[in-house]
Amino acid sequence: MSRPTPTASPRNEPGPGFAPLLRQGLIDPVDLLGLRSGEPNHVDDTHDALVRAVVSGDAESAARIEPETTLTRLRTA
């Protein structure tokens, strides 16, 4: 039995309120866990390291940067 293949159509597009809802949905867990309460700009160094890895073409390092930082902060929250 074959499964239907999703296709793009006007009725499948998210409504105008989707982006703000998605944005808030990504922010809420950070606020709920207090990940930015101790050091609001904690991602600055992480972001800089990610940019350097991407610019240098080091995909493996770039893929490890954010998950390691986020997991460390989640474990200490």
Domain extent at residue 46? 41-77
Token pair in block for residue 61: 């390092």
User: Does a structural domain hold residue 25?
Assistant: no
Residues 18, 47, 72, 19, Cα dihedral to 10°: 0
**Is residue 33 over pLDDT 80?**
no
User: Does a structural domain hold residue 73?
Assistant: yes
User: Does a structural domain hold residue 46?
Assistant: yes
**Is residue 35 over pLDDT 60?**
yes
Q: How far apart are CA 34 and CA 49, in angstroms?
A: 23
Residues 65, 69, 70, 76, Cα dihedral to 10°: 170
Compare 77 and 54 and report the one with higher pLDDT: 54
Count of structural domains within the chain? 1
Per-residue pLDDT at 56: 92
User: Does a structural domain hold residue 20?
Assistant: no
**Is residue 12 over pLDDT 80?**
no
